[in-house]
Amino acid sequence: MLVDMAGSENIEQAGQIGFEAKMQTAKINQGNVALKRVVESIANGDSHVPFRDSKLTMLLQDSFEDVKQKN
């Protein structure tokens, strides 16, 4: 599985500090944290995997389920 993640580096480097940029950065960070939680849950063999924490993880749920079954 390959996922290209958005990053907030360009926003910060460009000096955009407006409300819209801050909101975009917050959403990117939330998605990244949710993905990290899902990967950690699968790696730990947890019975509950928090797929519903973000749209990204909900979209990738089927792919993660395949990986989880193979392990």
Q: Give the per-residue pLDDT at 36.
A: 94
Q: Give the per-residue pLDDT at 20.
A: 81
Query: Would you say residue 53 has pLDDT above 70?
Result: yes
Question: What digits encode the pLDDT tens for the residues 42-51?
Answer: 999 999 999 9
Q: What is the CB neighbour count within 10 angstroms for residue 42?
A: 15
Q: Give the integer Cα–Cα distance in Å for 63 and 50.
A: 14
Question: What digits encode the pLDDT tens for the residues 5-35?
Answer: 766 565 555 565 678 878 888 888 898 999 9
Q: Give the per-residue pLDDT at 2.
A: 63
Q: Which residue type occupies 57? A: T
